[in-house]
């Protein structure tokens, strides 16, 4: 008797060891820390508390109202044309109470976070007193999700430690904030492979002003999702990512709003979760489980032009089912930011991608096409995307099922 | 360009290249070796002794397994077992209707569910709960009981709808109606009465289809003006008949006389084995029946878009490829089947997870539960994973009270190849 096998390498460890062996020099920080350490309070009265510089706290957030429309030609008449308004908001609090120490809290508000059961009714078709089934009604209710709640200790850009709730920096888009995206939402391939925040801790290094950025972390794995339901997973997610930007760093946003010089970068991420699964109902049925994900990306930016492409792959194996869950996907997106006047800029945007799921047993190929334009009415702000209006087309092509969907969306983003 | 070339020669690039190599090396997946089994899971006990009236199991997208006990011709009872992907079995569904014919087979699967066609009934089963319920048992318009005369064996599941194609008929209808069955809503749409309406003695010989090609086919025989006609009717996913093609006479084949379903190859050719042991192959240009020689044929399978005729010869499993014109190739001993049979020699470990927590037991003298050899069955095998299908293995048999013989069966993934 045997089971499918996967050879899982320790890519992260290998890479970090190689990077270390490559002899990257450890440099002193080029800029002093923004918050200086308090001076010794030798002359202070012994009974009075030592004075501390006031803690720096920044409160920010964003509002993102929008409206959208979607058309599915093959759907039931009720579902064929769907349209309405949507909205989201976020709140961010960043505190720097001590030198090198900071904390960040990000909350996301949405009008439809949870689906709540609002009514249950048994029905009896035969009138024999025995229920033949039940019907229940659900309603989407508003809610708040925790996007980030992390403590950071960063004495130098060469070494940083973060712990708490955060996105795993596995892919390019996972590293971007909700307000730093080229489109109002992340690319669908990215969301299918990894979504949301996770609990964990992360080591990070940033060398030569971001020409090399690497991170290594351990997480709970809540954002990975499991292909099998009613299972409890016990196992830490190990993740690593390396980005090399030899001509200079990129801002963590989908665009080149600074209209900087020519840069290009490559990156790769690896995520590995060896876990043990247990049946939720009984707490037994121990199964060995492996989840491996890899990503690779390239980026190019120059004078307002920005291009990024990313490939993602996932495979989940266990010693019980004999079936490997394998999926891969990719997307490419491009934008060109150009001001029409000092305070007004536009940015045509284009994105195409695909997801190829369940490859080993019932392959399903889905393609996505998005196109539109970002308008920046306050382009001379420090961050042009603080006020951004996006008009976009959204297309979905289910190649396997031969079904299309088309949509449009108008989104306004106000960041403060 | 110079900066780019400098980068390619740099340590960073070498470092990233090694990272990529390590990642790609880590991403290989090996299927089960041919003939080797994965975890045997105890399904339950069924009536009879080997070979049992079982169909090759299927699995839905989530990995829930469906095992159907029943037979189209010999048995008017069915029993469905559902093996949950996370462990445990439930079910016991016995829905079937009609006294003329038993289980036709599984006709589709989707997200956490599967459908089977038995007698006059179409039945939906849930992989999550193991429960089942008939689909469109009664006509929503008239309240009359509906007879599923023909069901195209695929389910199209999209964000918009979940549908299949069928011919339905109530007791008062002279001929069946072709319809798109909305499996979510439990309604039929695109209803079209069989034409010509004056057709008499209408019998369905067999059905087939290909979900990816969005096409189904029903082979039907009827009498019109005293003349017997046999036709293949091609249907698109909108429930429209797009082509009708006359076929060679099949007067000697009874209703539902095709073993399993017609299989459609990548070349667009349909093929099936009839009850007379002849292969019927056809496409939109016509068809032919071929006599099989050199083997006792059991069924026509589809594997990676090609047709294979499987059977036995000299107490060995044999297999022959069908070409794109329906021609039968030379028989070969089916090594994968022999390897799978050998793996059952001695003792096998079976996980009894019918109720949790599970336990491990041993079976001696395990053997294939259905067909003369592993993989040799009238129905084509399910694609469980790359190079892997699922099969049923028989364990201990015993005589229950009342003298009824019962046999334990186990389910397992197994590596398979067609020569």
Q: Determine the distance from the C-alpha atom of residue B130 to the mean position of all C-alpha atoms in its chain, rounded to a whole number.
A: 19
Contact across the interface for B36 and A212, Cβ inside 8 Å: no
Pairing of strands B40-47, B347-352: parallel
- Local structure of B255: helix, strand or coil: coil
Contact across the interface for A18 and B19, Cβ inside 8 Å: yes
> For tokens 């290249």, what's the residue?
B17
B59 chain-A contacts, CB cut-off 8 A:
323, 361
- Distance from the Cα of B311 to chain A's closest Cα (Å) equals 25
Q: What count of Cα atoms within 13 Å lies in the side-chain half-sphere of residue A380? A: 5
Instruction: Answer for the pair B407, B397: CB distance below 8 angstroms, yes or no.
Output: yes
Q: Which of B15, B22, B32 sits opposite A322 (nearest CB)?
A: B32
pLDDT of A207-236, one tens digit each? 999 999 999 999 998 888 765 667 888 899
The domains located in chain A, with CATH, are: 154-415 (2.40.160.10)
pLDDT the model gives residue B385: 94
B154 chain-A contacts, CB cut-off 8 A:
none
Contact across the interface for B61 and A358, Cβ inside 8 Å: yes
Instruction: Answer for the pair A240, A15: CB distance below 8 angstroms, yes or no.
Output: yes
Backbone φ/ψ region at A289: left (φ over 0), alpha (ψ -120 to 50), beta: beta
pLDDT the model gives residue A63: 95
Distance CA B58, CA B53 (A): 15
Distance CA B227, CA B383 (A): 42
The DSSP result for B100-140, as a single string, is S--EEEEEEEETTEEEEEEBTEEEEEETTT--EEESS-B-T
Q: Which residues touch A2 (CB under 8 Å, ≥6 apart)?
A: B32, B33, B36, B38
The model's pTM is 0.86
Q: Is the pLDDT of residue A113 over 80?
A: no
pLDDT of A305-360, one tens digit each? 999 999 999 999 888 898 999 999 999 999 999 999 999 999 999 999 999 999 99
The DSSP result for A55-68, as a single string, is PEEEEEEEEEEEEE
Please indicate if any CB of chain B lies within 8 Å of the CB of A212: yes
- Distance from the Cα of B251 to chain A's closest Cα (Å) equals 37
Please indicate if any CB of chain B lies within 8 Å of the CB of A10: yes
Please indicate if any CB of chain B lies within 8 Å of the CB of A18: yes
Phi, psi of B100 (to 5 degrees): -100, -30
Please indicate if any CB of chain B lies within 8 Å of the CB of A5: yes
> For tokens 């060469």, what's the residue?
A158
Please indicate if any CB of chain A lies within 8 Å of the CB of B358: yes
Distances (CA, A) of B89 to B29, B67, B390: 28, 10, 16
Window 296-335 of A, Cβ < 8 Å to B: 296, 313, 315, 317, 319-324, 326
| A139-148, A296-305, A339-348: least confidently modelled range | A139-148
Contact across the interface for A74 and B353, Cβ inside 8 Å: no
Distance CA A270, CA A214 (A): 12
Q: Which of B4, B12, B61 sits opposite A212 (nearest CB)?
A: B12
Q: Which residues of A27-40 are buried (b: 16+ CB within 10 A; e: fewer)?
A: eeeeeeeebeeeee
pLDDT the model gives residue B77: 87
The closest alpha carbon to A235, from A324, A316, A167, A327, belongs to A316
| A252-256, A362-366, B215-219: least confidently modelled range | A252-256
Q: Is the pLDDT of residue B332 over 80?
A: yes
Instruction: Answer for the pair A202, A162: CB distance below 8 angstroms, yes or no.
Output: yes
Q: Which of B20, B23, B158 sits opposite A403 (nearest CB)?
A: B158
Q: Chain B residue with minimal CA distance to A10? A: B22
pLDDT the model gives residue B86: 86
pLDDT the model gives residue B129: 86
Mean pLDDT of B179-195: 94
Phi, psi of B170 (to 5 degrees): -100, 170
Q: Which of A14, A279, A320 sits opposite B22 (nearest CB)?
A: A14
Give the angle B259-B161-B213 at the CA atoms, nearest 5°: 45
pLDDT the model gives residue A36: 39
pLDDT band at A131 (very low <50, low <70, confident <90, very high): low
Distance CA A279, CA A234 (A): 11
pLDDT the model gives residue A139: 75
How many residues does the structure list for chain B? 419
Q: Which residues touch B123 (CB under 8 Å, ≥6 apart)?
A: B80, B93, B95, B96, B115, B116, B117, B132, B133, B134, B135
Contact across the interface for A1 and B160, Cβ inside 8 Å: no
Distance CA B353, CA B39 (A): 11
pLDDT the model gives residue A130: 64
pLDDT the model gives residue A123: 62
> For tokens 């199964």, what's the residue?
A287
pLDDT the model gives residue A129: 61
Q: Strand pairing partners for A332? A: A309, A352
B185 chain-A contacts, CB cut-off 8 A:
76
Strands (E), A246-343: 263-279, 287-302, 305-318, 325-336, 338-341
Return the residue in B86, B95, B185 with the most chain A beta carbons within 10 A, the one to mutate for interface testing.
B86
Q: Which residues touch B126 (CB under 8 Å, ≥6 apart)?
A: B82, B112, B113, B132
pLDDT the model gives residue A110: 81
Higher pLDDT, A141 or A145: A145
The closest alpha carbon to B131, from A133, A279, A15, belongs to A133
How many CB contacts within 8 angstroms connect chain A with chain B?
196
The CA-to-CA distance between both ends of chain B, in Å, stands at 52
SS3 track for B146-166: EEEEEECCCCEECCCCEEEEE
- Local structure of B21: helix, strand or coil: helix
pLDDT the model gives residue A75: 85
Neighbours of A21 (CB within 10 A): 10
pLDDT the model gives residue A285: 83
Cis peptide before B196 (omega within 30 of 0): yes
Cβ contacts of B219-224, under 8 Å, gap ≥ 24 = B219/B247, B219/B250, B219/B258, B219/B262, B219/B280, B220/B150, B221/B250, B221/B251, B221/B253, B223/B199, B224/B196, B224/B198, B224/B199, B224/B200
Contact across the interface for A282 and B383, Cβ inside 8 Å: no
Contact across the interface for A231 and B40, Cβ inside 8 Å: no
Instruction: Answer for the pair A90, A178: CB distance below 8 angstroms, yes or no.
Output: yes
Contact across the interface for A72 and B160, Cβ inside 8 Å: yes
Q: Is the pLDDT of residue B218 over 80?
A: yes
Distance CA A363, CA A413 (A): 37
pLDDT band at A3 (very low <50, low <70, confident <90, very high): very low
pLDDT band at A53 (very low <50, low <70, confident <90, very high): low
Higher pLDDT, B15 or B41: B41
A78 chain-B contacts, CB cut-off 8 A:
none
Instruction: Answer for the pair A41, A50: CB distance below 8 angstroms, yes or no.
Output: yes
Mean pLDDT of B273-300: 95
- Local structure of A189: helix, strand or coil: helix
Average pLDDT score over chain A: 84
Please indicate if any CB of chain B lies within 8 Å of the CB of A27: no
pLDDT of A379-410, one tens digit each? 998 889 999 999 999 999 999 988 999 999 99
- Distance from the Cα of B240 to chain A's closest Cα (Å) equals 15
- Distance from the Cα of B74 to chain A's closest Cα (Å) equals 32
pLDDT of B158-168, one tens digit each? 988 899 999 99
Q: Is the pLDDT of residue A21 over 80?
A: no
The domains located in chain B, with CATH, are: 30-415 (2.130.10)
Mean pLDDT of A67-76: 91
Contact across the interface for B159 and A19, Cβ inside 8 Å: no
Contact across the interface for A315 and B27, Cβ inside 8 Å: yes
Q: What is the CA radius of gyration of chain B?
A: 24
Helix (H) or strand (E) holding B203: strand B200-210
Mean pLDDT of A15-31: 37
Window 248-267 of A, Cβ < 8 Å to B: 264, 266-267
Q: Is the pLDDT of residue A363 over 70?
A: yes
pLDDT band at A186 (very low <50, low <70, confident <90, very high): very high
Q: Is the pLDDT of residue A145 over 50?
A: yes
Please indicate if any CB of chain B lies within 8 Å of the CB of A229: yes
The closest alpha carbon to B392, from B46, B93, B30, belongs to B46
pLDDT band at B182 (very low <50, low <70, confident <90, very high): very high
Please indicate if any CB of chain A lies within 8 Å of the CB of B339: no
Return the residue in A10, A193, A268 with the most chain B beta carbons within 10 A, the one to mutate for interface testing.
A268
Instruction: Answer for the pair B60, A229: CB distance below 8 angstroms, yes or no.
Output: no
The closest alpha carbon to A208, from A16, A392, A28, A329, belongs to A28
Distance CA A286, CA A323 (A): 17
pLDDT the model gives residue A27: 35
Contact across the interface for B61 and A292, Cβ inside 8 Å: no
> For tokens 């186990």, what's the residue?
B410
pLDDT the model gives residue A226: 65
| A118-127, A151-160, B255-264, B303-312: least confidently modelled range | A118-127
Contact across the interface for B29 and A360, Cβ inside 8 Å: yes
pLDDT of B78-132, one tens digit each? 999 999 988 899 877 899 998 889 999 999 999 999 999 999 999 999 998 888 9
CA atoms B38, B40, B41, B45: torsion sign: positive
Distance CA A63, CA A77 (A): 33
Higher pLDDT, A375 or A40: A375
Phi, psi of A124 (to 5 degrees): -125, 105
The closest alpha carbon to B208, from B310, B125, B114, B105, belongs to B105
Return the residue in A362, A400, A407 with the most chain B beta carbons within 10 A, the one to mutate for interface testing.
A362
Please indicate if any CB of chain A lies within 8 Å of the CB of B24: yes
| A174-178, B233-237, B255-259: least confidently modelled range | A174-178
Contact across the interface for B185 and A272, Cβ inside 8 Å: no
Q: Is the pLDDT of residue A13 over 50?
A: no
Higher pLDDT, A143 or B267: B267
Please indicate if any CB of chain B lies within 8 Å of the CB of A355: no
pLDDT of A266-295, one tens digit each? 999 999 999 998 888 888 888 899 999 999
């Amino acid at each position: 008797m045997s089971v499918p096998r996967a050879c899982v390498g320790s890519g992260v460890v290998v890479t970090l060891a190689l990077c270390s062996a490559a002899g990257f020099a450890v440099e002193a920080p080029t800029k002093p820390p923004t918050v200086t350490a308090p001076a010794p309070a030798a002359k202070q009265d012994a009974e009075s508390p030592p004075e501390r510089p006031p803690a720096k706290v920044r409160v920010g957030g964003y509002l993102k109202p929008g409206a959208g429309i979607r058309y599915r030609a093959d759907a039931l008449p009720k579902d064929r044309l769907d349209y309405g308004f949507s909205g989201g908001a976020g709140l961010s609090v960043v505190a720097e109470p001590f030198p090198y120490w900071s904390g960040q809290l990000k909350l996301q508000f949405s009008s439809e976070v949870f689906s709540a059961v609002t009514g249950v009714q048994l029905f009896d078709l035969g009138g024999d007193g025995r229920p033949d089934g039940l019907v229940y009604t659900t309603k989407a209710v508003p809610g708040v999700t925790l996007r980030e709640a992390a403590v950071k200790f960063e004495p130098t850009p060469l070494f940083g430690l973060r712990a708490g709730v955060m996105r795993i920096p596995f892919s390019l888009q996972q590293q971007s904030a909700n307000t730093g995206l080229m489109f109002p939402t992340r690319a669908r391939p990215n969301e299918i492979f990894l979504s949301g925040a996770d609990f964990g801790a992360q080591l990070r290094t940033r060398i030569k002003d971001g020409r090399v950025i690497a991170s290594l972390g351990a997480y709970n794995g809540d954002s990975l999702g499991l292909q099998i339901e009613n299972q409890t997973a016990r196992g830490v997610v190990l993740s690593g990512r390396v980005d090399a930007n030899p001509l200079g760093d990129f801002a963590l946003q989908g665009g080149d709003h600074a209209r900087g010089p020519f840069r290009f970068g490559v990156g790769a991420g690896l995520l590995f979760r060896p876990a043990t699964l247990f049946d939720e109902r009984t707490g037994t049925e121990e199964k060995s489980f492996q989840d491996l994900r890899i990503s690779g990306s390239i980026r190019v930016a120059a004078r307002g032009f920005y291009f990024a492409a990313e490939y993602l792959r996932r495979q989940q194996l266990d010693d019980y089912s004999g079936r490997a869950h394998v999926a891969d996907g990719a997307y490419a997106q491009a934008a060109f930011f150009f001001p029409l006047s000092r305070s007004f800029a536009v940015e045509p945007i284009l994105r195409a991608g695909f997801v190829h799921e369940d490859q080993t047993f019932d392959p399903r190929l889905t393609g996505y096409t998005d196109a539109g334009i970002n308008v920046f009415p306050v382009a001379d702000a420090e961050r042009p995307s603080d006020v951004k209006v996006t008009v976009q087309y959204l297309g979905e092509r289910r190649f396997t099922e031969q079904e299309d969907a088309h949509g449009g969306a108008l989104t306004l983003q106000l960041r403060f | 360009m110079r900066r780019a070339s400098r980068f390619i020669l740099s340590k960073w690039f070498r470092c990233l290249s090694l990272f990529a190599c390590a990642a790609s090396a880590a991403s290989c997946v090996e299927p089960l070796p041919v003939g080797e089994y994965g975890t045997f899971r105890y399904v339950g006990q069924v009536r009879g002794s080997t070979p049992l009236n079982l169909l090759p199991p299927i699995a839905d997208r989530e990995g829930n397994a469906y095992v159907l006990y029943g037979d189209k011709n010999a048995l008017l009872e069915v029993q469905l077992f559902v093996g949950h992907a996370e462990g445990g079995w439930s079910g016991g569904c016995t829905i079937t209707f009609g006294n003329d014919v038993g289980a036709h087979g599984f006709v589709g699967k989707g997200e956490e569910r599967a459908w089977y066609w038995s007698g006059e009934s179409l039945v939906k089963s849930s992989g999550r709960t193991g429960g089942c319920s008939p689909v469109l048992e009664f006509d929503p318009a008239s309240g009359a009981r509906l007879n599923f005369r023909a069901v195209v064996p695929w389910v199209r599941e999209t964000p918009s709808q979940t549908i299949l194609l069928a011919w339905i008929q109530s007791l008062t209808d002279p001929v069946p109606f072709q319809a798109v069955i909305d499996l979510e809503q439990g309604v039929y749409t695109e209803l079209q009465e069989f034409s010509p309406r004056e057709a008499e003695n209408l019998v369905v010989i067999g059905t087939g289809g290909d979900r990816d090609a969005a096409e189904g086919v029903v082979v039907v025989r009827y009498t019109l003006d005293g003349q017997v006609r046999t036709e293949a009717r091609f249907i698109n996913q909108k429930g429209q008949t797009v082509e009708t093609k006359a076929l060679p006479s099949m007067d000697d084949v009874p209703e539902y006389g095709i073993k399993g379903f017609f299989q459609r190859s990548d070349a667009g050719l349909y093929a099936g084995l009839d009850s007379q042991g002849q292969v019927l192959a056809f496409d939109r240009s016509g068809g032919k029946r071929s006599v099989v020689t050199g083997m006792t044929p059991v069924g026509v399978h589809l594997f990676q878009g090609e047709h294979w005729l499987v059977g036995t010869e000299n107490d060995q499993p044999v297999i022959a490829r069908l070409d794109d014109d329906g021609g039968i190739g030379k028989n070969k001993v089916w090594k994968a089947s022999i390897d799978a049979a050998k793996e059952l020699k001695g003792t096998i470990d079976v996980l009894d997870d019918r109720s949790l927590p599970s336990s491990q037991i041993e079976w001696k003298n395990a053997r294939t539960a259905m067909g003369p050899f592993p993989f040799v069955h009238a129905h084509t095998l399910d694609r469980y994973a790359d190079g892997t299908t699922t099969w049923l293995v028989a364990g201990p048999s015993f005589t229950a009270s009342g003298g009824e013989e019962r046999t334990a069966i186990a389910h397992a993934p197994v590596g398979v190849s067609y020569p």
